[in-house]
Amino acid sequence: MQHTTRRDLRLLPKAHLHLHFTGSLDVATLRELAEYADVPLPESLVDADPLSVPQTVRGWHRFQRSYDMARLVVTSEYAMRRVVQSAVANDAREGSRRLEIQIDPTSYAPHVGGLVEALEIVLDEAAVASRLHGVSVGVVVAASRLRNALDAQTLARLAVRHAGDGPGDVVAFGLSNDEHAGVTEDWSHAFAIARRGGLPGVPHGGELCGPDHVRRVVDALSPTRLGHGVRAVEDPELLARLVDSGVAFEVCPTSNVHLGVYESAADVPLRTLVEAGATVALGADDPLLFFSRLTDQYEMARDVHGFTDVQLADLARSSIQASFASESDKQTWLYEVAAWLASSPTPH
């Protein structure tokens, strides 16, 4: 029998830049927190992939219902800290050197005494988990398109108070939830507050909606990174503009398929983005609902899109360079990527 040799992608040093708070959970931890909170969960959420349905009925609302059900178990300081520890431990097992986890503290504030308390719990536990697991953990504070834009300004001011690039710091300001909701320009004031306070913008855009929406997000919010952004490939002029301006793409292939953006993993335009010169950082988005973690995205790049080990190392380098970690940390991790590439592959 002939054996192929491939490097272990779990050992590839990488940065994880697109991971949502409750969506980061694994099923075992979700069950644990549900028991702690005495909250019953539907079997579809813990025993089967709730989003594994035909493309014709995939979509945002099915996803959001499942996410909201999962969030019902995160209603205490203990649960919030447990989410952080679980996310970081899972990332550590997959070779992450840097995790930038995203949260809208508004959703958790009523359970722990307020917005300030909710954010400070997450930041404190991020610092603890960084030391425990050897992963540098930054936090992205994200406003929601389903809430008032004035609320986003409050969040931006709070985020700025904790801005930094180290473990347990707020590293960026985002905008998440249904891309169809709200008027993008309404959030420009919140993003301006964040920028003045030293926080780069990382709004979602260009997954559910097409290139016109990407253009509005870019024009109004001046992002440093785009959450998803894959639909920009439908407008080559726009894509070239984003590449030339250095906007990075947080690409989450499994998410794109489960939400019905693309029919299959082969349709995700990962290679198109890379060949256009884009800085791409692969992300898992919501592993709890998509049953696919960070290393799975790299395996998809290799097995579905034909990326070589050299190209996979380039993706890892891109993720590190697109992170908001310190330059000294980035250089350390880039050296480790080179060491992985120089290592001997193992037989499979």
Q: Which of 207, 234, 237, 299 is catalytic?
A: 207
State whether residue 46 is helix, strand or coil. helix
- The encoded tokens of residue 187 equal 């959030």
The torsion of the CA quartet 109, 113, 118, 119, rounded to 10 degrees, works out to: 110
Measured from the Cβ of residue 68, the count of other Cβ atoms closer than 10 Å reads: 11
207 is catalytic: yes
Which residue type occupies 80? M
State whether residue 101 is helix, strand or coil. strand
Contact between residue 25 and residue 83 where contact means Cβ atoms under 8 Å apart = yes
How far is residue 62's CA from residue 71's CA, in Å, rounded to a whole number?
Answer: 15
Helices (H), the chain: 27-37, 43-47, 60-71, 77-93, 109-112, 115-133, 149-160, 188-196, 211-221, 236-245, 253-258, 270-275, 287-290, 294-303, 309-322, 327-342
- Reference 89, options 162, 166, 16; nearest CA is 16
State whether residue 109 is helix, strand or coil. helix
The DSSP symbol for 231 reads G
Measured from the Cβ of residue 273, the count of other Cβ atoms closer than 10 Å reads: 21
- Reference 100, options 332, 255, 325; nearest CA is 325
Catalytic (active-site) positions? 207
